[in-house]
Structure 1
Amino acid sequence: MKDALLVLSGGMDSVTLLYDRAADIALAVSFDYGSNHNDKEIPFARMHCEKLGIPHITIPLKFMHDYFTSSLLSGADAIPEGTYADENMKSTVVPFRNGIMLSVAAGLAESRDLKRVMMANHFGDHAIYPDCREEFVKNMSAAISAGTYANITIDAPYTNISKADIARKGKALGLDYSETWSCYKGGKIHCGKCATCLERKAALAEAGINDTTEYEA
């Protein structure tokens, strides 16, 4: 019985989870919070849901763009280049983004008589994004459970595995990762130089996947 709602961005990780746990997912939800790359990600999220026959909705959270501070909300030129190990990548943190999205998703799940909210955070996210860490997931799940009649919980199965591990799952599932979006700059094609592009390249290479993503020269 399908009892889960998936927070689906349209990136590698959440699209993999969509296919990995399709038998459990009753609804997928994307959030348009005004990031540089929302317009690139969300169409992929919608397309994959259509392929699988899973209902998909997009919820606007534009107030985050209007009131929060992050280079992810400030245009392509604001996105630093380099790896996630670089100090300047902290500028891409959108304050409490996952907390806000999971709260909305929990309310939506309870409204649809669902029991779980799924998210595709992974181990590589932990160092830079506080709302991707295991401690956050555990405590947020407890708060959502306590705050809902249905005792809804967060299901985050990729929390302690790497992006390359996720890519390996996708490879086994036959996924075409060119039908996902990663680049934080949100240009016509992936820039190939921001941290999320570099992470994407490394994960696909480690998983032995031929990377057919189109990158800037």
Structure 2
Amino acid sequence: MSENVVVIYSGGMDSFTVLHKALQEGKTVHALSFDYGQRHKKELDYAARVCAQLGVAHKVVDISAINSIVGGSALTSDIEVPEGHYEEPTMQTTVVPNRNMILLSLAVGYAVSLEAEKVYYGAHSGDHAIYPDCRPEFVQKMNEVCGIANYTPVEIVTPYLHASKDAILTDGLAMKLDYSQTWTCYNGREKACGQCGACQERLEAFAANQCTDPLAYENH
């Protein structure tokens, strides 16, 4: 029998690639998405469609109540989404306090209930500057904790921890993945804005791979 794993799947580019990577490794994937009160639910809609097409088990967990204690982010509160590159200080307003620690803790609990020994998530090097809970030292410490938090240790797997967004896309294109099935933009309008940090990093990755993003953008 193939190995059961949990994949934290937002519906964005990175987790989409991680999901397919786990499937190509022959894993039995249990995709786990979270409604944490984010500004829009488009990513979750994309995630649900992809899992339905692939026949992958998919749970969406509503944890939006946490916003009463961890608000203050442009992704969850009534704060304007900043435009510009990820490296700009204004992008720190998109940090949701302790988000990945919370999501990983829940995913590890789910993994234990499934008798799965691994949880995959899509942290990458492009996130290191802004998001502390995507950095190698965070993953290392979470792995240490998850090794002792239950009777059965669970490993946090981050296939792209030291890879750039460009490299993730390169890997996904080699797997012939269709990135029109993903949503990255921080805004939830009909088309991606092309101006927020998430859009800019995505567009840069496609340009670096000398191909065109199949997603529709405003003013592009």
Any unmatched runs of 5+ in structure 2?
none
Contact 1:4 1:115 in 2 (8 A): yes
Query: What's the Cα RMSD here?
Result: 1.2
Tell me, in whole angstroms, the C-alpha distance in 1 between the residues paired with 2:194 and 2:29: 34
Q: Residues 25 and 124 (structure 1 numbering): CA distance in 2 closer, same or farther, change over 3 Å?
A: farther
* Cα deviations by residue, 1:125-177 (Å, 9 ceiling, x for unpaired): 00100000000001011101110111111011100000010101111111121
TM-score, scaled relative to structure 2: 0.94
Q: Deviations over 1:1-54 (max 9, x none)?
A: 1221000000000001111111214301000001113x1001111122222221
Q: Structure 1 unaligned runs (5+)? A: none
1:119 matched residue in structure 2: 121
The one-letter code sitting in structure 2 at the alignment partner of 1:163 is K
Give 1:13's aligned amino acid. Answer: D
8 Å contact 2:22–2:29 — kept in the other structure? no
Q: Deviation of residue 196 (structure 1)?
A: 0.4
User: Which portions of structure 1, spanning 4 or more consecutive aligned residues, are displaced by more than 2 angstroms?
Assistant: 64-67
- Could you say which residue in structure 2 is the equivalent of 1:13? 14
Cross-structure match for 1:150: 152
Residue 27 of structure 1 aligns with which residue? 30
Between the aligned residues of both structures, percent identity stands at: 41
Q: CA separation in 2, counterparts of 1:64 and 1:177?
A: 30
Tell me how many residue pairs correspond in the alignment. Answer: 215
TM-score using structure 1 length: 0.95
Q: CA deviation at 1:78?
A: 1.0
